[in-house]
Amino acid sequence: MGGVTVKDIESHKFVQAYAAFLKRQGKLPIPGSCWVDTVKTSHSNELPPQDIDWFYVRAAAVARHVYMRKTVGIGRLRKVHGSTKNRGSRPSHHVDASGSVDRKVMQALEKIGVVEHDEDKGGRRITQSGQRDLDP
């Protein structure tokens, strides 16, 4: 009988708790503070995120996403974090999220040892220490 894993917890609650853990721990390297304050997460958005801790929340969501799957690339994350673009009177379309944001999040998670680059399949996968950190 195994213990409780990430798969047993509601995603929203887990992401909020892990984001708070990452912020409290203080090890997650955040790109320049000016960049974090001004960057938009998708070109479908008009404004940057209003939440001060949005980078920690995105990092927690990405860590959970990689945990749930074997390997994940930046293109897949762009599609997952994408949204609908408001095109006025024309029909709406899906727009992928910013690749730069997801790339910087993955690089930050790599630096703290949660994910690693998968040479065989491409993309990133969860490390054993990352799996230990994520499991409650």
Phi, psi of 90, rounded to the nearest 5 degrees: -80, 160
Domain ranges for the chain? 6-134
Distance CA 71, CA 127 (A): 11
Q: Which helix (H) or strand (E) is 124 found in, with range?
A: strand 124-126
Cα(69)–Cα(88) distance, rounded to whole angstroms? Answer: 36
Q: Tokens 């708790």 — which residue?
A: 17
Structure confidence by residue, pLDDT tens digits, 26-35: 888 888 878 8
The ranges of the chain with pLDDT < 70 are: 1-2
Q: Please state, in angstroms and rounded to a whole number, the distance separating the CA atoms of residues 83 and 125.
A: 24
pLDDT, one tens digit per residue, over 47-64 is 888 888 899 999 999 999
Residue (of 63, 55, 58) closest to 124 by Cα position: 63
Fold of 6-134: Arc Repressor Mutant, subunit A (1.10.10)
State the pTM of this model. 0.89
Amino acid 65: pLDDT: 94
Helices (H), strands (E): how many in the chain? 6, 4
